[in-house]
């Protein structure tokens, strides 16, 4: 089975000093999770994971499931996991399923 790698125009990753900063563009849905999952789980090699979702255009329950599993694995590996730039659809899905994921405080509200 061939490993699928997300094209750089969909997922860009920068790893410096043990921190993986990833930015997702486009959709996080049933159409893309299979392509993205290996790259997402590769982020777990870093001690801190910051996933920016400000440029996503769509997210469904499959995309949410991938985020939840990534967060669970990060916790099991004692990694810090933070979402930034969330999407209204993600907020709606989290509310529907009564879930929470760690989100960064926007800089203008940080102490």
Average pLDDT over residues 93-106: 85
Bridge partners of residue 81, in order along the sequence: 49
Q: Is the pLDDT of residue 106 over 70?
A: no
Lowest mean pLDDT among 12-16, 31-35, 86-90: 86-90
- Compute and round to an integer the Cα radius of gyration of the chain: 13
Q: Is the pLDDT of residue 57 over 60?
A: yes
Q: Is the pLDDT of residue 33 over 90?
A: yes
- pLDDT value for 1: 40
């Amino acid at each position: 089975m061939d490993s699928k790698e997300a094209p750089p125009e969909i997922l860009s990753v920068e790893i410096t000093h043990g921190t993986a900063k990833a930015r997702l563009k486009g959709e996080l849905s049933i159409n893309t999770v299979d392509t993205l999952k290996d790259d997402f789980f590769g982020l777990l090699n870093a001690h801190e994971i910051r996933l920016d979702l400000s440029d996503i255009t769509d997210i469904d329950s499959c995309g949410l499931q991938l985020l939840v599993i990534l967060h669970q694995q990060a916790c099991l590996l004692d990694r810090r996991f933070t979402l930034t730039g969330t999407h209204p659809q993600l907020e709606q899905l989290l509310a529907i399923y009564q879930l929470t994921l760690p989100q960064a405080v926007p800089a203008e509200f940080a102490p």
